Amino acid sequence: MKILVTGGTGLVGKAIESISKNYNYEFIFLSSKNCDLTNYLQTKQLFQKEKPDYVIHLAAYVGGLFKNMNYMVDMFEKNVLINTNVLKCAHESNVKKLISCLSTCIFPDKTTYPINENMLHLGPPHNSNYGYAYAKRMLEIHSRAYREQYNDNFICVIPTNIYGEHDNYSLTDGHVIPALTHQCYLAKKENRPFTIKGSGKPLRQFIYSKDLAELIMWTLEEYKENENIILSVGEEDEVSIEQVALSIARSFDYENLIFDTSYSDGQYKKTADNNKLIKLIGNFKFTGIDDGIKKSVTWFVNNYKNCRK
């Protein structure tokens, strides 16, 4: 059996690759260099060539808070094209199961907490990322439409904030943990304050990429429902950006840090309910945030010259 992983050289794709030897499949880890998924003909040719039995769809045009705010059109159009082409070609190729990756940042801004799988469309997303958020919501609707019209086994998983090795450490476009990791690395190297944009007060649930990789493979093999499922640590593991920054600073053994409150904090919280997951999977041991950050920082330092930044 063959599994095609789009976005296969990204954060989660690399995490799946790191555990792939534990599974009896032929994995194909696709990068944007292999195929432009915004191009339907290229995507169709890829599916015709590889003939995958399963697809784990991770590919997306992504960035941190400020990229989301500044490139709304790009975020919407590129993601809609990628998702449309992947789902259409998976359907045409009779793929047995397709798992698409959403994000908790696409949930409504004005809502009650914790959010669960049934609340995805109950109001607009936060205005800082509506381009990306609506494109991802369309992916969920598109998957549902293929299930209802063609009985295709197309489902969506919803992870919380992902971090780990092989992330994008861009100072401007990276997500919070990799961007702060790079910031702290440079601050220590240049002997200047480690500056965190915002107050540090917003709360987030972070999931280590290799934990998510295992949960995605569980979803592929064991999850029999066709409804969305949140893949996340519990509400009790929610941490502030300040706690994350302090953990990163400790990993670098650097104590000179400040918070620049002239920058936007973005959405204050988006607590996700992982009860459905835990009820089905039982006792899953998540990697603790300090342990995960330590591993991620170590990898970043050791791979600084060649990592994405």
Q: For the CA atoms of the chain, what is the radius of gyration? A: 19
Return all residues near 227 (Cβ < 8 A) that are at least 6 apart. 117, 155
Is residue 245 exposed (0-12), middle (13-18) or buried (19+ Cβ within 10 Å)? buried
Active site residue 132: yes
Tokens of 4: 């095609």
Of the candidates 132, 134, 169, 223, the residue annotated as catalytic is 132
Identify the residue whose tokens are 């919501």: 137
d(CA 156, CA 102): 7
Whether 66 and 74 have beta carbons less than 8 Å apart is answered as: no
Task: Name the E strands within the chain.
Answer: 2-6, 26-29, 54-57, 97-101, 154-159, 161-163, 194-197, 203-204, 206-208, 229-231, 239-240, 257-260
Task: Give me the helix-helix angle, 72-92 and 130-150, nearest 10°.
Answer: 20
Residue 218 vs residues 212, 223, 284: alpha-carbon distances, Å: 10, 7, 11
Identify the residue whose tokens are 């041991």: 285
The secondary structure of 213-228 as a DSSP string is: HHHHHHHHHT----S-
Tokens of 239: 């941490």
What residues are annotated to the active site?
Answer: 132
